[in-house]
Chains A and B, each alone.
Chain A
Amino acid sequence: MPKSANSTTPKGRALAGSGPTADLSPIHNYKRPDMTPRDHLVMMLTAGAQIEHALMVQYLYAAYSIDTDQASQEIREKVKGWRANILSVAREEMGHLLTVQNVLVLLGAPVNFGRQMLPWDHEFYPFPFSLEPLSLESLECFIYAEMPRVDSIRKPAPGKQRSKSAAPRFSAAKQEQVIQEITGRLAKRFPKKNIAHDMHRVGELYDEIIALISDHEKIPDSAFDEASFGMQAAGDDWARGYKPVPKLVDPEGTIVKAHRPASGTPHPAFADQDAYVQVDRAATRAEAVKALRALAAQGEALHLRHNDIDEPSHFERFVQIYEEFKTLKSGNLVHAVPRNPTTRIDFHKLKPRRTTYIGVDHHDEVAAHYFAQLFNQRYRLLLSYLSHSFRLARMHPLNEPSLRGMVMHRAFGEMYNLKAIAGLLVRLPRHGGGRAGPPFEMPYTLDLPHSEADIWLLHRDLIAASQKTCSEIFRLAKAKDYEAVNRQIVGTGGDVYLRTLMKIDVQTVDWINKIVAGHGSNERTSP
């Protein structure tokens, strides 16, 4: 029996008011009465996916902002360690993103690669989305988003025991101190906000999701489509280089004790901490719960963890960076990249204080503008390939080379492109000082066309747009009065990269044309 609008939440908070004028906003842990529990679950999972995506790009932006060109080798190694760890976190968020997509697929829901769905997600969004250079302030937000529940720090969750070999990096006291410090500083920075209400731990959302998905009454077994397993993203495909070292077992399958890290064994050096990208599939409710728990544990703490993988949580990584950042003079540790760069003057005019326009009005910023535009185009391609890979999973067998595998490789290729272009952007100047940054601007839609041929034509169209951007950069580089463009792209090595990218794109278009022709769309093989 569905609960009435006056139902209390498990935390005992009653819904304010009742009747037709009652506030029906989804509040913490309460679904709207016009939604089924399954729908509410899907909504939360969708929000979860979007939050993972949002966190990932914010982490990436922070990582790319780090200036590794430090004269001092000691500082260079330190900041490279920060960058490496933040990129590891971003990779792991990618794993989370894909895992959440898998649970959506399990429930028969559409995948979602968006980043925000106001007003549905404001109860869960960790902090207001903002692309910012790494700073103590941004680290505070990251830590807050990833931190564990304070009451779980000293005692594990029921039924769980902390493994000695998975000892935390920081003592319980230290963790509590950091959380208190962070919370206090955030409260001072956002004095009008009730931190506890308007900023959220990511773990809160997953607690809700896990609680609901575990509820046999609200989410019956029939809600789970076991046959969807083969359509889900596999860790073997997406995370193969980022798995932990296998543990050694004897012929009977018993872990060989000698190969277990002994209690008190020092953790690997911070800079050498690998990423462990978890992309879990689920065929059943139990597997979905397990996957979601693992995802949450990777973010915040070990108390939910079931294995002995010796890797720091996201929370621990950010705390480490935070503590180190405090000890160094931050002046030259990050590039002077802007907040929320945008290539759109219209959007900048809407939010002039929150965004930084990288435009074409000044010749010394033109190169940055077009590279930022190129970044957006490749970002969109990446998201399209990701979405397409899930669509193709329905059609192609897994045991032989197929377009699904090829699209997956394309997605990886676009990740490399984003890395490369971001690296160029933070070296390109803006008019008036400072450097550019990767804008990560979302396209107007991520929806894929209905027919397979049209999806390929969409990819081709996006590549054509990218090729046009590259050509335009070269055209301007040769144009009179645009010497700055030429100087900047040559000075950063952007010219070499663009030529290489254009060559790859020519090959890609050729590839797509063959595929489209194979779909019987010969007449559409040329744009």
Chain B
Amino acid sequence: MLGPVDYAIWLIVFLIELSSLVCLLRKKAFSRYFTLVLYLCSSLAVSIARYSIIQTSGFHSNEYLYFYFYSDTLLTICLFFVLMSLYAHVFSEMGVANYIRAGAMLLLAGTALVSYFMVATSSDRLVTKFVVELSQNLYFVGLLLTYMLWGAMAKLRENRTRLMQIVLSMGVYVSLFAGSYALSNLYFPNLALWRYYFPMIAAWLPLSWAYTFLRVSEDARMATAQVLAPNR
């Protein structure tokens, strides 16, 4: 069962996600940034479901373990939708958004297949290890896609401050998760700290989005060069 620290972290992250959602809705971002709202709603639903599974089956149960990783995979897929919408925003004037969406979907399916075959072909691992590998690989593909998006934004001299901050915070989030999963899989699979660490870093994205929507207006502009080399 959960201890007081677990409860506190769960409650804080839940409230952050909820306040971020309220913030986005108050700033009328529902239609323009629908995928962000969708991600936050999914994240809230997953938080509630995880809590109820812990209450019924316990934190160390297999049910919770599988649900945790499968729900994480679902959230990562939602994150892919967010990325696709950001690509659509950036390339809106070039009319290539549909090709990018198709490419991203293919990449998503390809990652799932490669992860499955990687685990299925290694005889020393259980096939059930698939979920952990899949999470790590999906975040890594998300990182590559975000990096490509940021590179394209720099090349196209994208100057919408809000869009830039959303993409950069996304980059921080996916690289933090991909690196942490890789570290936990490679060296410290049973470290007790992960139990507090992963829920805490999950708060980064809603917090940064809330800040961006509260402080940066849709019309705000900023030169990309200023962000890449601020002191020149």
Same complex = no
Q: Which residues of B are in contact with A by a Cβ distance under 8 Å?
A: none
Q: Which residues of A are in contact with B by a Cβ distance under 8 Å?
A: none
